[in-house]
Structure 1
Amino acid sequence: MKTNTSLAYDIPGKFEETRFEKNHNVIFENSVQGSKIVAQEIAELIRSKQANNESCVLGLATGSSPIKVYEELVRMHKEDGLSFYNVISFNLDEYYPMTKENRQSYHYFMHQYLFNHIDIKPENVNIPDGTVAIEELNQYCVDYELKIKQAGGLDFQLLGIGRTGHVGFNEPGSHINSGTRIITLDHITRVDASSDFNGIDNVPKRAITMGVSTILRSKRIVLMAWGQNKASIIKRTIQGEISSDVPATFLQNHTNATFVLDQFSASELTRFETPWLVGGCTWTQELKSKAIVWLCKETKQSILKLTDRDYNNNGMSDLLAQEGSAYDLNINMFNVLQHTITGWPGGKPNTDDSHRPERATPAQKRVILFSPHPDDDVISMGGTFSKLIKQGHDVHVVYQTSGNIAVTDDEALKFAEVAKDFLGDAETQINFKAVIDFLNSKSENQIDSLEVRRLKGLIRRRESYAATRYIGLKDENTHFLDLPFYETGQVKKNPLGPEDIAIVKDIIAKIKPHQVFAAGDLADPHGTHEVCLNAIFAAMKELKPEKYMDDCWLWLYRGAWHEWDIHEIDMAVPLSPSEVLLKRSAILYHQSQKDRVMFQGNDSREFWVRAEDRNKNTAILYDDLGLAEYEAIEAFKRFDY
């Protein structure tokens, strides 16, 4: 294994590497912590070069991964006096063809996040030119390589990683000796970029990229990856064999490369996924549950059929020795899972609740169901939503954002034209003629006008009313927050602000809930779920001194991308076949999101299909473990705020 010789990353011992890992890597609690450390290393390098009157040659990346690094470098420039006068930068890549003025260009990105805010000399900024004539491209790429060499080579290369394992735009099949060149983008890469371009048809099919050999010649490399959706490729990159099928694995050959990860992107590494295969464990209840569920899957047996030999042969002999016998382990685990199952998500009145996930009292609870977008409620917990209403609880659904960015121009135009035809020349709140004119003349990457955004938000709002009415909720219990952070008209949102938190805090204080359900799925491709969840955490923390918060429980559901693992589930709510159909129908009321999912992440299926398959798969897992067989199960995890 290669180890870095640059800035030390002081991480607790539990993050030490194992024999399974072939790259030096460190894991932080979140991307903010990791990004600050990376920015500090870059700043230290810049200053050390300045002290020796030398240029500092940086290889820079784009995408979501390095944004917080650039923000921290800008802060250090403005507040700590960090100067970039000696920095020469070379960007990894650029779409082709692509003008510099295009909002999706990497030229635009780098100036938006970094270059416009620091004192780097314009002549020292090098970004591949997406406007070079095709017949001149080969020579252009040769010259780009030569310019890097004349600058003294890359002192530091910052990287992200794509789901295909690409670094830069070196897609699967890229050779270790490849240099700067034009390349055809993988379909998965274009799918991942499609939401930024308002559809895959608008994503360029080619790009200019530094080659693998160009990157490997860097004196120092730091690759960053954040989020659950990067976990699978990170495991393949760090623990897999070197292969052009995953170009990032070529970094295993570098003597000074570090992977900087958060807990989510590192979650599938062996030391986190199955730590009992690495060495001795401290067997908490959560780890026991995780290990026994894994053992059932590994041996294809239900819990109560596991034997002493099964535990001994699969790295869990110390757990067996600690507990005494497979019989005791199996019974305890069976009971833990059995006690998560309930058809009464608000608690069952007049019953012993000592082995139930929710309290029996009060019998009728006030409930807030927070939904980041105007469909996450029914997608993620439509069946539970319906049960809570039918079982007499005072349920309030709270939509945190307008969701307008996810309505296509075609859908908005259709509604505007119908409204204009219906209303004639009547005065209305929305100038539909202006909306139609705007949409018909809208240029590439142009931000929607306020009128268009209002219309798109109203489309999502009316779809939400239709869905909640179908579920059985009263209109007065449906609330729309339209949190300000979201209202940029762009995929890129503003940071969470005090005004957002205050709005969430006010709705909680008004309802004084006994239960709060919130989206705990952080795999949302553009981070809206995470921002909305952080707003809830911040609001509930501020409200914690209030007496009514003593009796308020927070339950997290997962969205359209990932489900809780079985060992993480604290409440499993079974759904009957008719409840599955009810949930499907409620989701389908969100017609603007049907057929063309704008922010689908790494799953091309429609949201109702994903939700249904996920719920049915959870039920199958419970059945395989030897518990009752259900049509579908919605899962929740309790969170102590």
Structure 2
Amino acid sequence: MKLNLLEETRFEKVPVSVFENSKTASVHVAHRIAEIIRKKQAEKTFAVLGLATGVTPIAVYAELVRLHREERLSFKNVITFNLDEYYPMQSSSAQSYVTFMNENLFNHIDIPKGNIHIPNGTIAMSGIPSFCLEYEKKIESLGGLDIQILGIGRTGHIGFNEPGSAPNSGTRLVTLDDLTRRDAAHDFGGKAFVPTKAITMGIGTIFKAREIILMAWSRKKATVIKKAVEGDISGEVPATYLQLSNNVEFILDEAAAAELTRFDTPWLVKDCIWTDDLIHKAVIWLANHLQKPILKLTDDDYNTHGMAQLATEKGPAYNINIRVFNKLQHTITGWPGGKPNADDSQRPERAEPSKKNVLIFSPHPDDDVISMGGTFIRLVDQKHNVHVAYQTSGNTAVWDDDALRFVEFNLDFSEKMKIDNKSLKDVYQKMRTFLEHKKPNQTDSPEIQTVKSLIRKGEAIAGARYCGLNDDHIHFQSLPFYENRENKKNPVSEKDIELTIQLLQEIKPHQVFAAGDFEDPHGTHLVCFNIVLEALQRLRRTETWAKDCWLWMYRGAWHEFETHEIEMAVPLSPKELEQKKQAIFKHQSQKDKAVFPGDDSREFWQRAEDRNRETAKAYDKLGLAEYEAMEAFVRWKFE
């Protein structure tokens, strides 16, 4: 058993533990911390903890709070040192790490306030060197950190030790990488408001901890985790320096571990149980790796690239190639709602009923056309009963000056039409006053939220009409979780699910399309998908139609499914791709430069067009028919 484990992890240069999900992993880490606290209590001494901020440790802190409230874990013997803080940063600011730590941990436990240490984002620039030196001395005077918990940024930073940081660096002022600032833009209301600097513990400081745990959750951390765990030590990825420590452990959920060799290409490190899905993935990988069409792969290709076992058990190679080629070919369909009166045994969708009730859920008012605009139009053209539901208003993604411009238009219009506009002028002036004093990431006033929602609603209606829908097939849910953004810890309520159940019961769809792009940097897609999934799962327990409803996932402007994951690929002609682009253009507030564009500078229509073309090219390179573009879908498997 031990030999197998070594073989399986031979690419990994640090100890790695992988948990099913982030919740289970977070509880494990919290209990590790609690064990240290209790051990130190028994020794009648202090537990010195190095703490991190960001989304990653939130569930760890929640479990520590639960242990305090329900299992009487005391923090009176705990002294904490936080990794970092933005500079400059007022401690009372919503974006400060002081606020974060108080809201997520310190306000809910019995730790003495004097035992809490967080870098000071308010001191004068001239005082920073002495502050940093004193921070180091305080840690050393207590005998060092018993444990340091870390997250990891997409640049590979730990703390705010960005690329170029030295392995022996101490606490200091640093300049933040542009990607780090883009990732923080949503919390600050735009990248322009994100501080350019921060005070951070150094890598050398972190190294002195007796135990180091780096945590990472979600698929969007998978690429940098692979670099940190399997890559060469490099200042370009500061987390790789942890390979030099004997006291480090990476704790990951399955999504964050997805690109590690033992999970992504397990045939390179161990004998595999060759399921149909694994064969499909492996053969596509081999063809792409060798840049050969599937049907041209040989036994020698299999044998020299870690797949000899597959060729021996399931071969010869050509027979395997044929099976994978046919499976991939059968994902391609011009009939996303099923082809009437056709043999559907090898098609991705059922032939019957020939005219289906279809419900497209769109998290934001433009995800439908960005992600599946061509399929949307095709479903309508093929006479299916198509509905679209916009789950949120998307009002946070409208520029402030656009909101004013629309109200100014109404003022001018009412004046031209001799309509009394006194009340509207009052509202407009109130909006102007609010925006003149608006702080970064401050929630808009109700009037501004309404205007921005109406802007996006009008654009969504225009886009859906362009796709061929009548107004009575366009639904605006305005789910409460999005409108009530003050409740950050548990945003989804029963009302969100009830509203979704009601719409599903009204339409009784045979097909549901929902956003499966969980790498959306703001998390709205995942929240919206989980609401749809919960609603369908409840309905499947009691209603017959729901048991026959298929749930198809599409992806938005961020990433596409891997080729081996795709279960339905809908080809688009040049004309259809142009139609899709025109539908996206109806969303004028999102054109040119979106409020929260992520780390991709292309406009949304460009991302969508390029991504669809890339999917078609991927199929073409594997030896299948060449199309202009393709939209891809994966079917959700209900248990």
| TM-score, with length taken from structure 2 | 0.95
Distance (Å, rounded) in 2 between the aligned partners of 1:423 and 1:69: 55
Residue number in structure 1 paired with 2:466: 470
Identify the residue that residue 608 of structure 2 maps to in structure 1.
Answer: 611
Matched, 1:173 2:164: yes
Where structure 2 has 5 or more consecutive residues not aligned to the other structure, the ranges are: 416-420
- Displacement of 1:410 after TM fit? 2.2
Distance 2:485 2:19 in 1: 32
| Aligned-pair CA distance for 1:471 | 1.1
Is contact 1:448–1:489 with CA below 8 Å preserved after alignment? no
Q: Is residue 459 from structure 1 mapped to residue 463 from structure 2 by the alignment?
A: no
Per-residue CA deviation, residues 493-522 of structure 1 (Å, 9 max, x unaligned), is 743222211111111111111001111111
CA separation in 2, counterparts of 1:14 and 1:618? 36
Q: How does 1:477-626 map to 2 (within 5 A)?
A: 477-489=473-485, 492=488, 494-545=490-541, 546-626=543-623
Aligned match of 1:159: 150
User: What's the Cα RMSD here?
Assistant: 1.8
Verify: 1:370 aligned to 2:367, yes or no: no
Give the Cα separation in 1 of the matches to 2:8 and 2:169: 30
| 1:266-288 superposed Cα distances (whole Å, 9 cap, x missing partner) | 11111111111011011111111
Deviates most, 190-199 or 206-215: 190-199
> Could you list the per-position Cα deviations for residues 252-308 of structure 1 after superposition, in whole angstroms to 9, with x for gaps in the alignment?
122121111122211111111111101101111111111111111111111111111
Structure 2 counterpart SS, 1:356:
coil
| TM superposition shift of 1:596 | 2.3
Which residue identity lines up with residue 433 of structure 1 in the other structure? Q
Deviation at 1:23, TM superposition (A): 1.1
For 2:253, the aligned partner's letter is D
| Alpha-carbon contact 1:430-1:455 (below 8 Å) kept | no
Distance of aligned partners of 1:139 and 1:358 in 2 relative to their CA distance in 1, 3 Å threshold: same
Which stretch shows the higher mean deviation, 250-259 or 134-143? Answer: 250-259
Distance 2:29 2:472 in 1: 49
| Counterparts of 2:357 and 2:442, CA distance in 1 | 43
Q: Shift in Å at residue 188 of structure 1?
A: 1.2
Query: Does the Cα contact within 8 Å between 1:98 and 1:131 map onto a contact in 2?
Result: yes
More deviation, 42-51/245-254: 42-51
Cα distance change on mapping 1:556 and 1:565 into 2, 3 Å: same
Give the number of equivalent residue pairs. Answer: 629
Looking at structure 1, the residues matched to 224 and 175 of structure 2 have their Cα atoms a distance apart, in angstroms, of 20
Is residue 15–residue 27 contact of structure 1 (8 Å, CA) maintained in 2? Answer: no
Mapped pair 1:333 → 2:330: no
Give the deviation of 1:360 after TM superposition. Answer: 0.6
Structure 1 pair 501–220 and aligned structure 2 pair: CA distance change class (3 A): same
Residue 291 of structure 2 corresponds to 300
The letter of the residue matching 2:585 is: L
Q: Which amino acid aligns with 2:431?
A: V
| Paired position in structure 2 for 1:638 | 635
Offset, 1:324: 2.7
Confirm whether residue 212 of structure 1 aligns to residue 203 of structure 2.
yes
Residues 529 and 410 of structure 1, relative CA distance in 2, 3 Å threshold = same
Return the offset for 1:29: 2.3
In the TM superposition, residue 426 of structure 1 has moved relative to its aligned partner by: 5.1
For residues 429 and 402 of structure 1, what CA distance do their matches in structure 2 show? Answer: 24
Deviation (angstroms), 1:72: 1.9
Distance 1:619 1:464 in 2: 27
1:122 aligns with 2:97: no
1:428 deviates by: 6.0
2:395 maps to 1:404: yes
Shift of 1:423: 3.4
Give distance in 2, aligned partners of 1:51 and 1:172: 41
Cα deviations across residues 26-76 of structure 1 (Å, max 9, x unaligned)?
A: 122222221121112112221222222111111111111111111222222
1:354 matched to 2:345? The reply is yes
C-alpha distance 463-124 of structure 1, shift in aligned 2 (>3 A): same
CA deviation vs aligned residue, 1:100-130 (integer Å, no higher than 9, x gap): 1111111111112111222111111111001
CA shift, 1:474, in A, is 1.1
Q: Deviations over 1:326-355 (max 9, x none)?
A: 111111111101110000000011111111
The 3 A distance-change label for structure 1 pair 521 and 119 is same
> Partner letter of residue 287 of structure 1?
L
User: How far off is 1:388 after superposition?
Assistant: 0.5
Matches of 1:311 and 1:128 in 2, distance apart? 55
**Off by >6 Å, runs of 4+ in structure 1:** 13-16
Query: How far apart in 1 are the matches of 2:398 and 2:243?
Result: 43
CA distance in 1, matches of 2:533, 2:137: 51
